[in-house]
């Protein structure tokens, strides 16, 4: 999927607030003029991150009609929106359950738990709410930044590893796992674990992920199942 093209001449927004640091002003201007940000406002998505999932799903076909989905780190809700649309989830028959310790507005067709995924009660709550094992586990989780790059990197990688362990415990055979990671940062032990348990494992970087960003997505498809389960 190509990056979104404008429908005409776009007037660039400029930030006039002189109290902002120059780096903050540049970031804000870039965000305001980002075509994905503008498109999300027009199309009603909670964030530009929705297009990352849209582009990955367009290529890899994870979110099939009727599939059950768990979304880890769901706020502000863009991935829940996409998952609900593509699976056909409705308020009357919800197929998507998200979780985040940050509060967010309701997402039509999804149930969102306001709690920390790292809470020991969270996995059971997610499964209980979904009603059965998921076909897809999604995670766009990233740790709050501390300003120390190495620390931030390690904390987010820990979230990726915890999400992967959760996926291995709950996915249906044949299910898929997609999680945020970083370039050069996925631990070899995690990759080996996923390769043993899924039919294919690789990194993807959708066009909506900024070129300057070090983020990647770890995609594991075709869960082989736990001992005793049919594939």
- What residues are annotated to the active site? 180
Nearest alpha-carbon partner for 193 in 173, 228, 163: 163
Nearest alpha-carbon partner for 222 in 209, 231, 213, 212: 231
Q: Which long-range contacts (CB under 8 A, 24 or more apart) does 42-50 make?
A: 44/81, 45/78, 45/81, 45/82, 46/76, 46/77, 46/78, 46/81, 46/104, 46/107, 47/76, 47/77, 47/78, 48/78, 48/208, 49/78, 49/79, 49/140, 49/208, 50/78, 50/79, 50/81, 50/82
* Angle at the Cα of 167 from the Cα atoms of 208 and 165, rounded to 5 degrees: 105
């Amino acid at each position: 999927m190509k990056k979104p093209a404008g429908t005409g001449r776009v007037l660039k927004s400029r930030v006039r607030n002189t109290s902002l640091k120059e780096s903050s002003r540049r970031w804000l201007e870039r965000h305001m003029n980002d075509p994905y940000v503008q498109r999300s406002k027009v199309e009603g998505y909670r964030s530009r991150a929705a297009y990352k999932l849209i582009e990955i799903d367009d290529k890899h076909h994870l979110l099939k009609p009727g599939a059950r989905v768990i979304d880890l780190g769901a706020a502000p809700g863009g991935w829940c929106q996409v998952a609900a649309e593509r699976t056909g989830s409705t308020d009357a028959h919800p197929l998507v359950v998200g979780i985040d310790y940050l509060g967010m507005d309701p997402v039509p067709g999804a149930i969102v738990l306001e709690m920390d995924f790292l809470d020991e009660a969270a996995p059971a709550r997610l499964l209980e709410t979904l009603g059965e094992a998921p076909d897809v586990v999604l995670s766009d989780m990233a740790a709050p930044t501390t300003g120390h790059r190495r620390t931030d990197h390690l904390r987010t990688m820990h979230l990726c590893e915890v999400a992967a362990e959760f996926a291995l415990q709950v996915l249906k055979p044949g299910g898929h796992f997609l999680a945020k990671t970083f370039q050069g940062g996925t631990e070899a032990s995690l990759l080996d674990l996923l390769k043993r348990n899924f039919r294919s494992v690789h990194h993807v970087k959708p066009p909506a992920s900024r070129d300057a960003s070090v983020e990647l997505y770890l995609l594991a498809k075709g869960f082989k199942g736990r001992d005793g389960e049919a594939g």
